[in-house]
């Protein structure tokens, strides 16, 4: 695994095989793929002359026209292809629907959460304090993971916040009401004064948070990322291997930042 030649054509081939209707949009800078006339993929190679501002500008341009644009980086396609296809199907409304009210919320251990999120979330898993799964007919169909309570004494002496770290449904399934059911369970159990979360701007415009009653409170700036060109592992600056700046097997790339949302209770 590593930097691939003609990876964009691999994307086109795979999406065509999956039955997507595709159109290559003419653009002097970006490789834009219009999918089912509803969703645009900006195919971003690892070696490029883009800045985060370039990517945000094209995303905002189409967002203002009511079109969803995702930044599909070369490494994400190669490493998380199944999850990319799952995300696309969800955005395009192609998933099978299940009703969350039929489900039961149960506590998960870290391994159960890791296994599910690795298979069903673009960013795989993350460590968390609280892990809950929604089961329908004894099948795990959605998972939500949260931090522990965090004191926010600058707001009030007893004020506590909690972070939603991950949420995912089974690939191919949209669980109507599943997110709110898991969230309400956490709120009853932990009793926070608010729930905060971040939406990755490469992959989200934040609509799910808007629909869930969250308020957009901040936008975090793009982050520098180092990536191994041999095994395509990403590292944020504070976790990068020591020799990244002198080792030619690493490239410096970036993301487009995050949208910060808070649900006030």
- pLDDT at residue 3 in the model: 61
Whole-structure pTM over 0.85, yes or no? Answer: yes
* Residue spans of the chain under pLDDT 50: none
Per-residue confidence (pLDDT) for residue 211, from 0 to 100: 92
pLDDT in the model for residue 240: 78
CA–CA separation, 161 vs 31, rounded Å?
Answer: 41
Domain annotation covers residue 121: yes
173 and 119: one domain? Answer: yes
Q: Is 186 found in the same domain as 155?
A: yes
- Domain annotation covers residue 143: yes
Report whether 173 contacts 95 (CB < 8 A): yes
Residues 90 and 120 in one domain: no
Quick one: 29 and 89 in the same domain? yes
Q: Residues 146, 187: one domain?
A: yes
CATH number at residue 136: 3.40.630.30
Residue at a domain's end among 172, 192, 212? 192
Question: What's the pLDDT at 134?
Answer: 99
Length of the chain (residues) = 265
Identify whether residues 88 and 112 lie together within a single domain: no
Residue-wise pLDDT tens digits, 149-167: 999 999 999 999 999 999 9
Q: Which of 152, 174, 192 is the last residue in one of the domains?
A: 192
Q: HSE-up of 152 (CA within 13 Å, CB side)?
A: 14
* 74 and 85 co-located in one domain: yes
Domain of 85, in residue numbers = 7-94+221-254
The predicted pLDDT at position 185 comes to: 98
pLDDT for the residue 188: 98
From 173, 192, 211, the end of a domain falls on: 192
Confidence at residue 1, expressed as pLDDT on a 0 to 100 scale: 54
Same domain? 63 vs 29: yes
CATH number, position 56: 3.40.1350
Q: Give the CA count within 13 Å in the CB-facing half-sphere of 174.
A: 13
| Any domain includes 200 | no
Task: Tell whether 169 is covered by a domain.
Answer: yes
**Whether residues 56 and 111 fall in one domain:** no
| pLDDT given for residue 245 in this prediction | 63
Q: How many domains does the chain have?
A: 2
pLDDT of 2 reads 56
């Amino acid at each position: 695994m590593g930097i691939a030649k003609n990876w964009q054509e691999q994307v086109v081939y795979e999406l065509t095989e999956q039955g997507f209707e595709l159109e290559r949009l003419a653009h002097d800078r970006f490789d834009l793929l219009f999918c089912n006339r509803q969703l645009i993929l900006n195919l971003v190679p690892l070696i490029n002359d883009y800045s985060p501002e370039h990517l945000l500008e094209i995303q905002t341009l189409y967002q203002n026209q009511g079109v969803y644009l995702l930044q599909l980086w070369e490494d994400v396609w190669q490493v998380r292809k199944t999850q990319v296809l799952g995300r696309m199907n969800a955005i395009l409304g192609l998933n099978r629907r299940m009703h969350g009210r039929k489900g039961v919320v149960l506590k998960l251990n870290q391994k159960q959460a890791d296994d599910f999120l690795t298979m069903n979330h673009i960013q795989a898993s993350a460590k968390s304090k609280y892990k809950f799964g929604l089961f329908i007919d004894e099948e795990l169909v959605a998972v939500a993971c949260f931090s522990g309570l965090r004191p926010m004494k600058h707001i009030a002496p007893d004020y506590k916040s909690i972070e939603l770290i991950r949420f995912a449904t089974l690939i191919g399934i949209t669980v109507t009401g599943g997110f709110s059911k898991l969230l309400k369970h956490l709120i009853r159990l932990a009793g926070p004064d608010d729930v905060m979360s971040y939406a990755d701007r490469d992959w989200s415009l934040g609509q799910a948070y808007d629909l869930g009653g969250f308020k957009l409170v901040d936008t975090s700036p793009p982050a520098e990322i180092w990536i191994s060109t041999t095994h395509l592992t990403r590292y944020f600056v504070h976790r990068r291997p020591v020799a990244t700046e002198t080792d030619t097997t690493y490239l410096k790339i970036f993301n487009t930042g995050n949208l910060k949302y808070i649900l006030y209770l």
